[in-house]
């Protein structure tokens, strides 16, 4: 429902508000509308002026702009009315031509941006595609070269000699991890060295069993406690004496062993492992990691010695951490000895690392093997064909 307007609702309202200053607001002067310029801000009376004379307001007279007592209600123009009229008159309106120009500019910018994006995207895909093709070509080329090289190596292995006269032998033939190339000059050097010291370069292992008729020339060492080959005695004494002057003392745990003694050691180790729960086959295999079968041990030649440091009497890999053992490994070739079973050649020798096991081969052969980084197995492979 609507509210009924009564004349008495406005009784004394204007008077109170004007007295309190609520109508003291800034508006625009209506008298300057005709000039078309924005009016100067002046202070105006309220929309409905107080009726003079009667002291009361007549709503009808106030609405008609007349009040009793000769007074008129003054119309106050709202603020910013001039702005509204200007907008309605089109003063601020943008022409269609200007809109068209702006639209064309925006469209042109968008079009240029779109073209730049397309160019960049095309370049990106081009380089990606070109990179993939180049990678594929490189992979195919490397694979082809590797295949050709492998085929040439296989062909060389078939004959045993490479095209330039170099002998090739690989891991399958020697147990070595790296491909080795043996030139005719190296083969000739090894052959001469072997012919000069054939007795010292005798090889004994699982593949080369010592003949039962072999009888080494022995002599007592360590005050008669052990025996060793007579040919190594002087060099052994010199090595131990120089080691002593360097501050190290040694204990020779084992030297020459005959075949029966070697077989007794094998049986003893097998029994020890079987007592721990191993089967006979497993115990035998475990024994052969360090102890060779009878007839296949270098100790039967009298040229092999087990040398321990006096500060450590354990025959295990802890010897390698002893300064005295390190001195022997670094200088033994100067006295004709080699470390027979190195740590990095276990797959070549077939024997676990034994830092205490030294083999006498003579000074010349020891220096040659050390220079080449070979074991006796690798040296023997070079001269094998020439001594058949």
pLDDT of 188-206, one tens digit each?
Answer: 999 999 999 999 999 999 8
In the set 167, 354, 377, 378, the catalytic residue is: 354
Catalytic residue status for 354: yes
pLDDT at 136: 85
The 10s digit of each residue's pLDDT in 61-94 is: 555 555 444 445 455 555 556 666 666 666 555 5
92 contacts: CB under 8 Å, gap ≥ 6: 86
Model confidence band, residue 96 (pLDDT cutoffs 50, 70, 90): low
What's the Cα-to-Cα distance from 67 to each of 30, 31, 88, rounded to whole Å?
Answer: 21, 22, 34
pLDDT at 126: 81
Is residue 40 classed as helix, strand or coil in its secondary structure? Answer: coil
Q: What angle do CA 239, 242, 244 make, to 5 degrees?
A: 110
| pLDDT over threshold 90, residue 231 | yes
Average pLDDT over residues 285-293: 87
Average pLDDT over residues 274-293: 90
- The CA dihedral of 288, 291, 295, 301, to the nearest 10 degrees, is 150
């Amino acid at each position: 429902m609507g509210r009924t307007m009564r004349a008495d609702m406005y009784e004394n309202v204007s008077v109170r508000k004007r007295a309190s200053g609520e109508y003291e607001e800034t508006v625009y002067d209506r008298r300057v509308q005709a000039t078309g310029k924005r009016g100067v801000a002046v202070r105006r009376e309220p929309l409905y002026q107080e009726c003079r004379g009667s002291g009361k307001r007549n709503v009808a007279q106030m609405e008609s702009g007349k009040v009793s007592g000769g007074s008129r209600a003054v119309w106050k123009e709202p603020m910013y009315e001039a702005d509204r009229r200007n907008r309605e008159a089109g003063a601020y309106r943008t022409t269609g031509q200007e809109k068209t120009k702006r639209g064309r500019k925006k469209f042109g910018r968008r079009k240029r941006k779109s073209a730049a994006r397309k160019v960049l995207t095309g370049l990106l895909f081009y380089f990606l595609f070109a990179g993939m093709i180049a990678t594929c070509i490189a992979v195919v080329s490397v694979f082809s070269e590797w295949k050709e090289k492998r085929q040439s190596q296989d062909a060389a292995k078939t004959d045993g000699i490479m095209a330039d006269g170099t002998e090739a032998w690989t891991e399958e033939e020697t147990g070595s991890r790296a491909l080795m190339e043996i030139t005719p000059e190296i083969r000739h050097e090894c052959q001469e060295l072997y012919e000069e010291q054939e007795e010292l370069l005798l090889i004994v292992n699982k593949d080369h069993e010592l003949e039962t008729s072999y009888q080494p020339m022995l002599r007592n060492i360590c005050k008669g406690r052990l025996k060793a080959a007579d040919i190594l005695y002087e060099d052994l004494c010199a090595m131990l004496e120089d080691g002593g002057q360097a501050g190290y003392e040694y204990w020779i745990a084992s030297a020459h062993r005959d075949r029966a003694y070697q077989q007794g050691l094998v049986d003893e180790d097998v029994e020890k492992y079987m007592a721990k729960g191993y089967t006979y086959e497993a115990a035998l295999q475990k024994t052969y990691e360090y102890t060779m079968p009878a007839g296949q041990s270098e100790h039967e030649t009298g040229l092999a010695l087990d040398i321990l440091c006096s500060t450590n009497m354990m025959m295990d890999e802890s010897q390698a951490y002893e300064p005295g053992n390190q001195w022997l490994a670094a200088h033994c070739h100067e006295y004709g000895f080699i470390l027979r079973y190195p740590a990095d050649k276990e797959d070549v020798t077939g024997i676990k690392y034994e830092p205490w096991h030294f083999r006498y081969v003579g000074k010349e052969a020891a220096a040659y093997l050390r220079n080449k980084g070979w074991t006796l197995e690798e040296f023997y492979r070079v001269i094998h064909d020439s001594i058949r």
